[in-house]
Chain A
């Protein structure tokens, strides 16, 4: 049993989606238990797999026993780096699933089973991208993820989300096609699709990296992945897609999809092309860091200009993607930049999850969409607002939370590699985040402006009954229901825990990096 954990992570949500498709369409009560149990199985398998990796090193799994490198097997590979990401994906999707529980009284819609099918398929795709050991399988799983996310964006009832989903689809497909093209060039030159195999071939012959085909392949793969992760000039699809999608969709899409794409980029750099070889052969790495600096600055500026909570968070994601891309490309000898990137992938997934869950709760139960309407939030939803504050502090980078430590490692990498503009952008962006969040805290804590003005409003996609037409006072405390509050608080607690235990986690990540380097030297 225990040797099948890598497959179980993927198959549990896939099977769950099948169950919902078979039974959930007729009886909607099946949907939620099926989703939760499937994701719980994945979480269990991911934790068990991480323990295996911690004790016995990387785990290779061949689907149906077809061993590579014939080119037909499906290899799954879990190492120290991605086993942690698998756990985070499982946790975040589980939190998002709990958030979507409907209270007994609330009306059920036709779309419910379809939503959960797409939700689970998205989880399958994300797990698959993370664990797949084959460059072409990653393409297929990227498309599985993308197709389900288009559906999850478009499933809302507003008119805008369809157009947002259409634009997302166009950008996403072009990005995935570029990735496929890059993989094609790799196959053309090396005759293999298996990541380890490609790595071995590239490492055996140092001149290969200098050939035009390999360089083209690398650039195509990068451009494709950058489109998928919304690096600044390619970010156009992200804000609309994530802010107009329903709260339940946004709670899984926003934290995970971009982060997993960043992981694919790091994976390509570390365990396909090889970091040492890349540093020797790629002389435009500093340009990518510049691109990241621009992304950080642009994302922060756009965030300052936003008036809506979710739009602002989306712009912050764009800035965070800049952090991670820049960190991966710093090329400092101690590898602190890339360590920081990998740690930040985990941290940012949880931060974004916490903030989007809280923002979703505000939109759904208070009808608050705009920043100015957040006034009096602390009196209305003290606990949910506390969760939001912890998420905000993590984004700013205040010490006990994980955001501080990831920035610490990234800045250390920046200093050791002498990329001062990157360091400056990172610190500047933290200041901008501080301004942004303290403005929100101020409005939420001291703001006297009543929410009354748009209480009957148009609110979010599925707002509950609200009747707060009160003026100044008295403010009624109306926490979101427990199933929405608990995920926010768990995410907030995890942010602090991840920060406190950053030492062992970073140690674990670094053993993964060293292991891949060892594969290089052994050939």
Chain B
């Protein structure tokens, strides 16, 4: 009973951390999807320069650790280029996570677009639709349906990646947990903390499943 009481007393702090974790996950994944859409279209573009640029971007952000990107953006960039100093921790982390997620989402979106039978766009072009119209009216709406499961996956990955923000002193759920662990000198706090993570994951899994079945109905 004593243990339960202790866990309950940590709850307000943990929930405060969870708020940052959730907020960061949602905003960064949204930014990632938007950025990823442009990167994906850029990568499959017939313009060689744009295509190569987008490929290079994706290669860089998928090829280096997120932790290092965060460190680099927050600590290293301001040392080289003082004009690019970001003083808000949340904003800095949001930019790092958004840029990183953009690269991953780009690959998901590219795969979704390319999974649509090329015969469809050929038919659309034969009917006189432009490339833009074909994409906007035909390919993208269908890709979105196929995108829901992988984006849901990306979202849950992001939820846990956000735990890296402790390095820039931003109090997400993991950081709060670790602080309580050391100040209360008990690792017990990991239990309620992991339960909170599971609850968040369960909730968003549920949401994404609902969206998925809703879209399937429309098909």
The judgment on whether A and B are partners is no
Question: Residues of A at under 8 Å CB distance from B?
Answer: none
